[in-house]
Structure 1
Amino acid sequence: MGHGLDVCMADPREAQTIEECLESEFVRTLVCQAGLVISGHKPAAVFGFTPRAWRGGDHRQKRALSARLLATYASSTRRYGLCLAGLSRHADGLMLLAWRPSQVEKIVADAQSRAFLDSVGLPSGDASALMAELVGRLRAYYAGRASFPHELGLVLGYPVDD
């Protein structure tokens, strides 16, 4: 695991192992769904990873390998200024959040954004604390314990007025 671009450019249907197949799909999904975050054009993205190409193996094996992939890429992308967090697991895959701390810091530096964050009970002076709280709220939502945190829109790049 952790082969990145080499495995991303490979066709998942030609993978020799379930690990290669899932990694290829994971990297492709990350690039497609969080490409604007990776490139620094958007602060954050929420997306799902549901492996499709591998026909062998059971759901538990796919879930375990998907969790390992998330841990591997969450660690390796951090050195490039990209954070990844798992929000929930489901039978076929994962829900994920990707964000650029440098972009979130710009949000908390904005007076109008800080006022909005304060109004919805979110940390307004610390990007790390803000993202930790949003990850917690999203996890609660996906676990069925809370309503969807619409305030997430701010870090997804939506204007405060939306």
Structure 2
Amino acid sequence: MKVTEQSTAPADALERKLVHHCTPTLAAIKPANLFTCRSAFSPAARLDPSRPTAAALRGDELSSALRVCRAKLAPHGVRIEVLARRASGALVYVYRPTLLTRCIQEERVAAFLRAEGYDPASLSACIEKLHRRICGTDLQSQMTGRCSFPHEIGFFLGYPYEDVVGFIENEGENYLCSGCWKVYARERDAQSCFCCYKNCTAEYERLFGEGVPIECLAAVDEDFPAIEAFRAAG
């Protein structure tokens, strides 16, 4: 029994992270989420080693946990990639290929991405290029001391076109409000969206805490009206 508990602990920790950070993707109301899975050797992990939803994992533990979680979620249309490995931990990208492809092939988004050297016709090629761009900005961050991301990453997280472009043009300033992202247009719609994500996450964390397996939480049809199901009351 002890061996089983030890062997499943890393996967359990990663599953808690996925539910905490990626519920909108699991629920198919957002195409993708991104979070940092802290390294067991990072300064932040040593300062706070006890938080269950932010449990740090060693590199070998993360690799093992990823295999387990990928096997559970792939049949339900959810993919997991590590976009970068940093001193602070691994940058984990969770996405639904069907929803994400739809987003990056939207006319204005596709035109923007093509101008940046992406091929929106190939999701795998786009994600590979995004990986290279992130690694490039990581190197730049090390040299300048300022953390940055490729600006187009917002499109790979399902952010509205106007907000991604607004962020770029305003250099992250002059936004109307901020939540999951900085908003430059349609503020009320964005606030409603943020509230929807928050409600959905709270409900999924409750269900997961009661023992509902993560694969069941991800087992929704991508046409399921989850936005209506988790919309804020009033």
Shorter-chain TM-score tier: 0.7 to 0.9
> How far 1:92 moved relative to its partner?
6.3
> Which is bigger in relative contact order (C-alpha 8 A, separation at least 6)?
2
User: Alpha carbons of 1:89 and 1:126: their partners in 2 closer, same or farther (altered >3 Å)?
Assistant: closer
Task: Give the number of the structure whose alpha-carbon radius of gyration is greater.
Answer: 2
The RMSD of aligned alpha carbons is 2.8
Name the SS for the 1:77 alignment partner: helix
Measured after TM superposition, the shift of residue 106 of structure 1 is 0.9
2-side partners of 1:32 and 1:161: how far apart?
27
Aligned to 2:36: 48
Q: Does structure 2 conserve the Cα–Cα contact (< 8 Å) formed by 1:63 and 1:92?
A: no
Superposed displacement of residue 26, structure 1 = 0.8
| Cα offset, 1:119, TM superposition | 2.0
> How far off is 1:40 after superposition?
0.9
**Does structure 1 residue 25 correspond to structure 2 residue 9?**
no
Hey, what's the Cα distance between the residues in 2 that align with 1:77 and 1:136? Answer: 25
Answer yes or no: is the 8 Å Cα contact 2:11–2:68 preserved in 1.
no
TM-score under structure 1 length normalisation: 0.72
Normalized against structure 2, the TM-score is what? 0.52
- Deviation, structure 1 residue 120: 1.8
Report percent identity of matched pairs: 24
- 1:32-111 pair list within 5 angstroms: 32-50=20-38, 52-53=49-50, 62-90=58-86, 93-111=89-107
- Would you identify which runs of 4 or more consecutive aligned residues in structure 1 move more than 6 Å? none
Structure with the larger helix share: 2
Structure 1 distance, partners of 2:135, 2:73, is 21
| More displaced 10-residue stretch of structure 1: 16-25 or 93-102 | 16-25
Rounded Cα–Cα distance in structure 2 between residues aligned with 1:148 and 1:130: 15
Asked if structure 2 preserves the Cα contact closer than 8 Å seen for 1:116 and 1:160, the reply is no
Q: Are 2:79 and 2:94, in contact at CA under 8 Å, matched by a contact in 1? A: yes
- Classify the secondary structure of the residue corresponding to 2:93: strand
Instruction: Output the amino acid matched with 1:23.
Output: A
Any residues of structure 2 matched to 1:147-162 within 5 Å, and which?
Answer: 148-162=149-163
Question: Contact 1:74/1:85 (CA < 8 Å) preserved in 2?
Answer: no
Q: CA deviation at 1:35?
A: 0.8
Q: Which residue identity does 2:117 align to in structure 1?
A: G
AA paired with 2:35? F
Query: What secondary structure is seen at the aligned counterpart in 1 of 2:161?
Result: coil
| Match among 128, 134, 144 for residue 138 of structure 1 | 134
In structure 2, distance between residues paired with 1:156 and 1:137 = 15
**How many residues matched?**
142
